[in-house]
Amino acid sequence: MMEFPEDLRYTKAHEWLRRKGPEAVIGITDFAQDALGDVVFVELPAVGTQLTQGQTFGVVESNKTVSDLFAPVSGRVLAVNQVLRDEPERVNEDPYGAGWMIRVAPSRNEEIESLLDAAAYRAFVASEQKT
Amino acid sequence: MARRTPVYEAHRGLDPRWTEFSGWEMPLSYRSIAEEHRAVREHCGLFDVSHMGEIEIRGPEAGAVCQALTVNDVRRLAVGDGQYTLLCNERGGVLDDLILFRPGVEHYLLVVNAANTASDLAWIRERAAGRAEIRDRSAELALLALQGADAEVALRGLTPLDLTSLRPFGLAEGLVAGLPVVVCRTGYTGEDGFELLVEAAAARELWDALLAAAMRRGGLPCGLGARDTLRLEAGLPLHGSDMDASTTPLEAGLAWVVKLAKGEFVGRAALAVQAEAGVERRLVGIQLDEPGIPRHGYAIRRDGAVVGSITSGTRSPTLGSFIGLGYVAAGTAAPGTPVEIDIRGRLLPARIVARPFYRRVREN
């Protein structure tokens, strides 16, 4: 059963964002990990990198394919999930938890407001699956 | 519409992730590729490889036909033996790699790649029509592979056949789970194991029995994803990816299969010339020093210059490192040679390494 946690915000590129006080944690959705298949490598930016909303910040590779990661919001990278370097399968096992990718300091709060909520993302995924 | 194997419904019950492979709808993985990979390395795993083709050649001239069309020496096959061999074209290019079995005195069986079954059949018929009876048995036969160190123990409980005396590449006919089966001691994982040929109508029943036996030994059903990572760790080339009609067996590291001294066969003249002159490129193992997946077509560089290209790659589930196969200029092929892999514009340091990347530890 595909999960769409209510407390997260989403992008049409299938990233999620969780607000944690002034910070935000970012990863890819359950739908994305399922579509990719076994994740075997995640390339993440260096801490301190300045992200721009909609620009690529990394790459996720599965056995089948290579996929860019797009920044849901602009901001500075505060931390990256080092565990994924040796255990990329965490992205498949727990996409909203242990499979998180980066923690950022968002520079524009209105960007967060522009992201999809769970219901809108769920509807978007349903429309994608029909085509 | 993709083709389905006789075991399709059993797979569907396990709700796998699917993939299309050579026109077949096949399970990619049932759980995760890494778990299935580990099951085969540590216990055993069961694969449906019924998409592979089976071509039967019979008659008094059958042995001579096989000898003339394949590169290995068919005279080495006693009844009940098999050998890894290749079909080459006149230029020495690899049309397919296959296992050639000799189930009877005047009876040979070729187990070939799914993608090449039709073209192999046409190639063989063009050259051997009238000399031997050639039949495509692919639709009538299913092929299940039980692989891993515990494969023999798992299979033992299902059959009166003496598995311990069945040598690598050998075959034996008998009952498994009460079903008439041809058991071959072959595989594509770098582990001990068996491949079982069975009539399509009995395939589901055999699958269920083998899966239950495998799971009692800590085994899992395995899809084509694990099959690919297992064969890559074992350094085994995949036809269509690591070799094809534009590469020769000598370039692909398969000189040991080519018996130039056996007499005339298709491709012999070209391969003899190349053996004499030496190859200009070689298929080598590549180990990356930094994380990244080398993929088919990525350039291999040395001191800035392109010296070859990747043909397949993965993250090795056993080693945790990033490995690949690729062709490089012969002067760059020595193990230890530092190279760089161009991963979408990023140059990652890597080394040429000896194949296989993984070798099983023999317990006896």
pLDDT of residue B363: 53
Within 8 A of A61 by CB-CB distance, chain B residues are 293
- The packing angle between helices B62-69 and B117-128, to 10°, is 120
* C-alpha dihedral sign at B66, B68, B72, B76: positive
pLDDT of residue A64: 81
pLDDT of residue B358: 92
Residue in the block written with tokens 């607000």: A19
CATH topology for B280-364? Elongation Factor Tu (Ef-tu); domain 3 (2.40.30)
Do residue A37 and residue B28 have CB atoms under 8 angstroms apart? yes
Within 8 A of B31 by CB-CB distance, chain A residues are none
Average pLDDT, chain A: 94
pLDDT of residue B364: 43
Does the structure show a pLDDT above 60 at A107?
A: yes
In contact, B221 and B211? CB cutoff 8 Å: yes
* CATH, range B53-120: 3.30.70.1400
The shortest CB-CB distance from B293 to any of A37, A61, A89 is to A61
Do residue B29 and residue A40 have CB atoms under 8 angstroms apart? no
Closest C-alpha to B315, from A125, A77, A87: A87
Within 8 A of A64 by CB-CB distance, chain B residues are 19, 28
The shortest CB-CB distance from A37 to any of B17, B295, B344 is to B17
Does the structure show a pLDDT above 90 at A130?
A: no
Strands (E), B80-203: 82-88, 94-104, 107-112, 133-136, 141-147, 171-176, 179-184, 193-199
- Rounded Cα distance between B317 and B230, Å, is 9
Edge-to-edge strands, sheet with B82-88: B82-88, B94-104, B107-112, B53-58, B133-136
- Residues from A contacting B (CB-CB < 8 Å) are 37-38, 40-41, 43, 59, 61, 63-64, 66, 85-86, 88-89, 92
Within 8 A of B17 by CB-CB distance, chain A residues are 37
> Residues A97, B319, B229, CA angle at the centre, nearest 5°?
85
Does the structure show a pLDDT above 90 at A63?
A: no
The shortest CB-CB distance from A86 to any of B33, B292, B320 is to B320
Does the structure show a pLDDT above 60 at A14?
A: yes
Average pLDDT, chain B: 96
In contact, B53 and B138? CB cutoff 8 Å: yes
The shortest CB-CB distance from A63 to any of B33, B291, B292 is to B33
Which chain A residue has the Cα nearest residue B315? A40
Within 8 A of A43 by CB-CB distance, chain B residues are 291-292
Q: How many CB pairs under 8 A join A and B?
A: 38
DSSP classification of residue B330: G
Chain centre to alpha carbon of residue B50 = 13
Do residue A40 and residue B293 have CB atoms under 8 angstroms apart? yes
For A32-59, what is the mean pLDDT?
95
Do residue A38 and residue B29 have CB atoms under 8 angstroms apart? yes
ipTM, interface predicted TM-score of the complex: 0.80
% residues pLDDT > 90 (chain A): 89
- Nearby residues of B354 by Cβ (< 8 Å), 6 or more positions away: B285, B335
Average pLDDT across each block of 10 residues of chain B; the chain has 364 residues. List them in order.
95 96 96 95 98 98 98 98 98 98 98 98 95 97 98 98 97 98 97 98 98 98 97 97 98 97 98 97 97 95 96 94 97 96 95 93 58
In contact, A20 and A48? CB cutoff 8 Å: no
Strands (E), A29-93: 39-43, 50-51, 56-62, 66-70, 75-80
The alpha carbon of residue A35 is apart from the nearest alpha carbon of chain B, in Å, by 9
- Rounded Cα distance between B271 and B260, Å, is 8
Closest C-alpha to B176, from B194, B155, B162, B192: B155
Which chain A residue has the Cα nearest residue B319? A86
- Rounded Cα distance between B177 and B10, Å, is 17
Cis? peptide before B356, omega within 30° of 0: yes
- Rounded Cα distance between B113 and A1, Å, is 36
Query: Residue A12 to residues A82, A123, B252: CA-CA distances in angstroms?
Result: 26, 11, 44
- In chain B, what are the domain boundaries? 8-51+139-233, 53-120, 280-364
Domains along the sequence of chain A with CATH? 10-108 (2.40.50.100)
pLDDT of residue A131: 57
CATH topology for B8-51+139-233? Gyrase A; domain 2 (3.30.1360)
- B248: tokens are 């020769």
- Residues from B contacting A (CB-CB < 8 Å) are 17, 19, 28-29, 32-34, 225, 228-229, 291-293, 295, 314-315, 320, 322, 344
Do residue A38 and residue B32 have CB atoms under 8 angstroms apart? yes
3-state secondary structure of B137: coil
